[in-house]
């Protein structure tokens, strides 16, 4: 896939700004879109901090960082950001109606062959593509992992109408970002990775709830015994317990009681202990905030 292709990333949050940084680093012209100046500023600051960390590690030079910024434009208007793009990746919250609205507007201003990708970790690709008519063949799941800049994997998900060419283009794009690719061939809730990740984290929650070990020791066991870069509970705090609960609810509906949230999960949500963003989750971050 040509690096002259313009990439539009919709949503400047934790995932979107990371995807935009990746694409700009790989040489693409990138337009990062969000609905408010404040959201765009937060996205810009996150990219700036990420690039600074890479510079401190010696991974990027000052000149390379300047080149990345020269390829990255922040845009507050969706149609303006999407219109010239050959690839559009949506990274907005996991609300089907919102995603439908985004892609309806995107489809109205982009070329028929534009690759339409959603960064969803669980929502049906077929359902998201349903309102797009003939454009559904160009629609595919492109699931990055958090944080996108550091994680090596991209999971592609084929919807019922996803064309072979679309899947091939999405693979080429992900690989051009330096990522390894796996493909979920059937549009099943949770795909490959979210389904496994959710059941693993839920079992860790059950062990914590039963008093078998502390959060620290459970996470340490997973890091050192199974080579996980971050323990499941720590990762749950990083992503947010509300996000985890949303995933569990969808997976329970699709796959049964083995994904049912435990009393601890319900109680933590009721208490507002959602992880790093609230200062308390499976761990206490109050001294760090």
pLDDT of residue 146: 85
Structure tokens at 72: 């990255």
For the chain, strand residue ranges (E) read: 6-10, 29-33, 72-75, 87-90, 115-118, 139-144, 153-157, 180-184
Given the structure tokens 């905030």, which residue do they identify? Answer: 289
Strands 72-75 and 87-90: unpaired
Residue range 35-68, pLDDT digits in tens:
999 999 999 999 999 999 999 999 999 999 999 9
Q: Which residues contact 15 (CB under 8 A, 6 or more apart)?
A: 91, 119, 144, 146, 148
Residue range 235-281, pLDDT digits in tens:
999 989 998 998 899 899 989 999 999 999 999 999 999 999 999 99
- Where does CATH 1.10.1040.10 sit in the chain? 194-277
Query: What does pTM read for this prediction?
Result: 0.88
Mapped onto helix, strand or coil, the DSSP state of residue 193 is helix
pLDDT over 90, % of the chain? 90
Distance spanning both ends of the chain, measured CA to CA: 43
Share in percent of the chain as helix, strand, coil (round to 5): 55, 15, 30
**Mean pLDDT (the chain, rounded):** 95
pLDDT band at 229 (very low <50, low <70, confident <90, very high): confident
pLDDT of residue 1: 55
Mapped onto helix, strand or coil, the DSSP state of residue 60 is coil
Measured CA to CA, the distance from residue 154 to residue 196 in angstroms comes to 15
Q: Which CATH superfamily does the domain covering 6-184 fall into?
A: NAD(P)-binding Rossmann-like Domain (3.40.50.720)
pLDDT of residue 91: 97
**Topology classification of domain 194-277:** 1.10.1040
Residue range 168-177, pLDDT digits in tens:
999 999 999 9
- Where does CATH 3.40.50.720 sit in the chain? 6-184
Task: Tell me how crowded residue 256 is: count the other CB atoms within 10 A of its CB.
Answer: 9
């Amino acid at each position: 896939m040509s690096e002259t292709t313009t990439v539009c990333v919709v949503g400047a949050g934790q995932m979107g700004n990371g995807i935009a940084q990746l694409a700009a680093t790989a040489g693409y012209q990138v337009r990062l879109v969000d609905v408010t100046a404040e959201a765009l500023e937060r996205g810009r600051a996150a990219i700036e901090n990420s690039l600074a960390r890479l510079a401190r590690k010696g991974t990027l030079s000052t000149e390379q960082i300047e080149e990345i910024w020269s390829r990255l434009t922040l845009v507050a208007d969706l149609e303006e950001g999407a219109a010239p793009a050959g690839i559009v990746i949506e990274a907005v919250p996991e609300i089907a109606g919102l995603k439908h609205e985004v892609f309806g507007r995107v489809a109205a201003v982009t070329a028929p062959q534009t690759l339409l990708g959603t960064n969803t970790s669980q929502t049906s690709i077929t359902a998201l593509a349903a309102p797009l008519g003939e454009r559904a063949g160009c629609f595919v799941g492109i699931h990055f992992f958090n944080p996108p800049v550091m994680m090596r994997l991209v999971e592609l998900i084929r919807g019922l109408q996803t064309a072979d060419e679309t899947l091939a283009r999405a693979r080429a794009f992900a690989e051009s970002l330096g990522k390894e690719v796996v493909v979920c061939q059937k549009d099943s809730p949770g795909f490959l990775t979210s389904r496994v990740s959710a059941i693993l984290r839920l079992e860790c929650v059950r062990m914590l709830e039963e008093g078998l070990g502390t959060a620290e020791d459970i996470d340490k066991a997973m890091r050192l015994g199974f080579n996980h870069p971050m323990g499941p509970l720590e990762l749950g705090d990083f992503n947010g317990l509300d996000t985890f609960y949303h995933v569990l609810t969808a997976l329970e509906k699709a796959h049964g009681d083995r994904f049912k949230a435990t009393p601890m999960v319900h109680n933590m949500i009721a208490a507002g202990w959602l992880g790093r963003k609230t200062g308390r989750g499976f761990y206490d971050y109050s001294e760090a905030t």
